[in-house]
């Protein structure tokens, strides 16, 4: 069998999409609390009742029940994030909020009780709103200091409980979604490329500094970067299309390259020169960047195409990051194209490029699930479409391992239903566990196991052999 014995099978969530309790126990507001329509919609002045994330799936009060279900599936690892504004409600306080710290103590203890390793994202699209409004998020260099204080607080507290850390979720998404990804309050249309890439630089320095601090405070810990992977294919064999793809891929590779190699690549220096962008490097920045990550993690949902032909640059419905639809691929209900082989391709691509262990920390299918009642009165969802999606993708992971790629683990996105990041709706479900809550706010929050729950349990129990049935 291709999957190694120590392969980390599990699932992934983000604090802002599942916890709820948006201002309980001293938590401050985050950027998520004012985006009731998710990435795609406008923001509000204050949290509004139509924002599904304010309650989420009430994981804050129900995590014990949920982790027990993850343990039943046999999870080896559970990826979640720490809500920054639970620890530092405004973000620039001197002292952390003890009640916030206590919650994650209890959560990680619960995971460890079942032998589940926490994989923790330090910043997952949940910048404290105060930092966003007051400092314009990562445009401001002061953010590095606030982030450092935050990471020192959580490393000191959880260093003995958490072995695996990710510094920023989908760090490259800041180019496309500056508010949600980088807490940048300036409207995207008014944000200059200079300010945007300066913000990226501040995040790089903060990420490398966190990696340095982690290795000092927790010598056994492993720190990874996290990239939104979206393999890009030329729409045609035209050399113009191939070069266009190379240039667009460079924009994403930039983020992995700096994290793994510890310096700015030549292709970005050229881009900056030609676009009048001058990155303000402070003394010591270049040295800090040399503190590189231990592994590379990424999300994978879809691939896209690109072309140099302006007439063919038609953006796909589901492609939040841009891109031209691939005529050879089918799409989900939300227009996200389904490309299992793209996952094998990207695993090989990153392995060839970085020679660092890889971790697939998000992959899954968002779909409308229809609950059905069994003969014994219990409920389930017959989600064969999800099983089919995951099976095809996991078989490609196996192929990549056979290719010689070092893959640490796989955490399926939204292992329990949660509020979607892109549209902030619950009807777009990803989980193995159904949560009875609807977009109009109705529902009992009851949990029940979908058909895919038992399938994934068998996949983990057989270390992937189930995939060949």
Closest C-alpha among 41, 149, 59 to residue 96: 149
Give, in words, the CATH class of 8-468: alpha beta
Say which residue, 323 or 450, is predicted with more confidence.
Answer: 450
Could you state, in order of their start, the residue ranges of all structural domains in the chain? 8-468
Q: Which residues have CB under 8 Å from 304's CB, separation 6+?
A: 230, 231, 232, 233, 316, 319, 321, 322, 323, 324, 325, 326, 337
CA pseudo-torsion sign 383, 346, 464, 432: negative
Residue 7 — pLDDT band, cuts 50, 70, 90?
A: very high
Percent of the chain past pLDDT 70, that is, above it, reads 98
Is 170 a residue of the active site? yes
419: left (phi > 0), else alpha (psi -120 to 50), else beta?
Answer: beta
Digit-coded pLDDT (tens) for 333-366: 888 899 999 999 999 999 999 999 999 999 999 9
92 and 83 in contact (C-beta within 8 Å)? no
Rounded to whole angstroms, the Cα distance separating 468 from 239 reads 39
Q: How far is CA 51 from CA 126, 200, 419, 420, 424, in A?
A: 15, 28, 10, 11, 8
Please report the pLDDT score of residue 422 as a whole number: 87
* Active-site residue identified among 216, 362, 382, 399: 362
Q: What φ, ψ does residue 212 adopt, rounded to 5°?
A: -60, -50
Digit-coded pLDDT (tens) for 300-325: 999 999 999 998 887 766 555 668 99
Digit-coded pLDDT (tens) for 127-186: 999 999 999 999 999 999 999 999 999 999 999 999 999 999 999 999 999 999 999 999
* Active-site residue identified among 170, 203, 247, 465: 170
Rounded to whole angstroms, the Cα distance separating 168 from 122 reads 6
Helix or strand or coil: residue 318?
coil
pLDDT > 70? residue 22: yes
Average pLDDT for 186-208: 97
Please report the pLDDT score of residue 464 as a whole number: 98
Digit-coded pLDDT (tens) for 53-104: 999 999 999 999 999 999 999 999 999 999 999 999 999 999 999 999 999 9
């Amino acid at each position: 069998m291709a999957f190694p014995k120590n392969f980390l099978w599990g699932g992934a969530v983000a604090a802002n999409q599942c916890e709820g309790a948006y201002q309980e126990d001293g938590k401050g507001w985050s950027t998520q609390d004012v985006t009731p329509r998710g990435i795609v919609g406008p923001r509000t002045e204050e949290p509004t009742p139509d924002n599904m994330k304010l309650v989420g799936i009430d994981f804050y009060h129900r995590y014990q029940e949920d982790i027990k279900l993850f343990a039943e599936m046999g999870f080896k690892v559970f990826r979640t994030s720490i809500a920054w504004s639970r620890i530092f409600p405004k973000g620039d306080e001197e002292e952390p909020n003890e009640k916030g710290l206590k919650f994650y103590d209890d959560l990680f203890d619960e995971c460890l009780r079942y032998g589940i390793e926490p994989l923790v994202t330090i910043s997952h699209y949940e910048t404290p709103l105060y930092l966003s409004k007051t400092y314009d998020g990562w445009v401001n260099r002061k953010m590095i200091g606030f982030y450092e204080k935050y990471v020192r607080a959580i490393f000191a507290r959880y260093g003995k409980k958490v072995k695996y850390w990710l510094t920023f979720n989908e760090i490259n998404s800041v180019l496309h979604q500056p508010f949600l990804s980088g807490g940048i309050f300036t409207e995207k249309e008014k944000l200059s490329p200079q300010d945007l890439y300066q913000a990226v630089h501040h995040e790089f320095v903060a990420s490398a500094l966190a990696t340095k601090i982690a290795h000092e405070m927790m010598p056994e810990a492993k720190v990874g970067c996290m990239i939104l992977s979206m393999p890009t294919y030329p729409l045609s064999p035209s050399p113009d299309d191939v070069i266009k793809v190379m240039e667009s891929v460079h924009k994403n590779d930039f983020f992995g390259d700096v994290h793994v190699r510890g310096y700015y690549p030549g292709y970005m220096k050229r881009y900056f020169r030609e676009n009048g962008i001058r990155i303000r490097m402070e003394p010591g920045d270049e040295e800090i960047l040399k503190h590189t990550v231990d592994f590379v993690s990424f999300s994978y949902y879809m691939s896209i195409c690109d072309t140099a032909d302006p007439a063919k640059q038609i953006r796909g419905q589901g492609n939040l990051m841009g891109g031209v639809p691939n005529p050879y691929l089918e799409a989900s209900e939300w227009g996200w194209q389904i490309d299992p082989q793209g996952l094998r391709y990207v695993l090989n691509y990153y392995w060839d490029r970085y020679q660092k262990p890889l971790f697939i920390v998000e992959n899954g299918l968002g779909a409308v699930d229809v609950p059905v009642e069994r003969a014994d009165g219990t409920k389930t969802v017959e989600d064969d479409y999800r099983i089919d999606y995951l099976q095809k993708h996991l078989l490609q992971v196996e192929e990549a391992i056979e290719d010689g790629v070092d893959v640490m683990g796989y955490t399926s996105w939204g292992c329990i239903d949660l509020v979607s990041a892109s549209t902030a709706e619950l009807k777009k479900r990803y989980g193995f566990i159904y949560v009875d809550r609807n977009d109009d706010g109705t529902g009992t929050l009851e949990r029940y196991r979908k058909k895919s729950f038992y399938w994934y349990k068998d996949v983990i129990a057989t270390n992937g052999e189930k995939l060949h049935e």
